[in-house]
Structure 1
Amino acid sequence: MSEFFKQFNFIQQIQFTALRLFYQGLAFFLVVGLWSCASNEPSNLNLPSLKIGANVTKIQEIKPQEGKQTTVYIQGKVEKIAPLVKQQAYLIADATGKIWVVTNQTHLKMGQDVVIKGKVKYKSIPLAGQEYGEVYLEEE
């Protein structure tokens, strides 16, 4: 009978060790997950190597469509920053052109690679019989 109790005790020790390892692993992943969520630094993704696919629109192809608000994704570098009331405007450039993006984001830096989803907008600016309007994006 003592052999039975030795085997039973051995099995209990293995189960306890496995359970302890499970909880240690779970605690590790929870700590790492919370730590990554707590970082206030913007992500340092290497966006030029990130392939979004057919969803990215070249800036030169962005045109306003009357009565329709088109949503597009653009990818490029931040060239200029213009502070607005409660918002920011960023001039984003890709190999085909430049476009202003109005957003609530405040952490973007000059030269940073970004991917932005926004609605195509047009602001008409008639001046002395001429149209000086501008196409821009409003981030969603």
Structure 2
Amino acid sequence: MEKFSHLLAFMKQAQLSYLRFFHQGLLVLLVMGFCSCGNGKPTELNLNNLRIGANVTPIREIKPVQDNKTTVYIQGKVEKKAPLIKQRAYQIADLTGKIWVVTNQTNLQVGQDAVFKGRIKYKSIPLSGQEYGEVYLEEE
């Protein structure tokens, strides 16, 4: 019985060694395959155009516009949220400022990072001879 248990232990150890050897061999083959795919020329991809946030407009640069056709991308953290009828408004903040975004998205949480594409809008609110209007973004 003792010989049988030693035999089982040896077989189990041999199986583990085989699996380790198999995984290491597979890794070597994979690395060799990736290295051999290149033809010696540098890639033609322009990685500068692939930066995350490359087309993002800082919030401080968003100004009221006459036409409602200006589209911008903004990126920031959700600071506040307000329910609207069939929509939501989120106050988004980046390092340069804050802006409200009106959207159909209902699943964003305070503190979450978000990116929006939208049109710049301005709502005029005259009160007692003073202007309290605000620029906001309407998501497309």
The interval holding the TM-score normalised by the smaller chain is 0.5 to 0.7
Count of residues in Structure 1 that have an aligned counterpart in Structure 2:
90
How far off is 1:67 after superposition?
Answer: 2.8
For the pair shown, which has the larger CA radius of gyration, 1 or 2?
A: 2
1:139 corresponds to? 139
Gaps of 5+ in 1: 1-49
Gaps of 5+ in 2: 1-50
Residue by residue over 1:56-104, the C-alpha shift from the partner in whole angstroms, topping out at 9 and shown as x without a partner, is 0000000111134310000000000000010000000000000000000
Distance 2:137 2:56 in 1: 14
For normalisation by structure 1, the TM-score amounts to 0.62
Q: Which segments of structure 1 move beyond 3 Å, counting only runs of 4 or more?
A: none
Residue identity (%): 73
* 8 Å contact kept, 1:69–1:121: no
RMSD: 1.1
2:52 corresponds to? 51
* 8 Å contact kept, 2:53–2:75: no
Residue by residue over 1:16-41, the C-alpha shift from the partner in whole angstroms, topping out at 9 and shown as x without a partner, is xxxxxxxxxxxxxxxxxxxxxxxxxx
* 2:135 aligned partner, one-letter code: V
Distance 2:104 2:65 in 1: 24
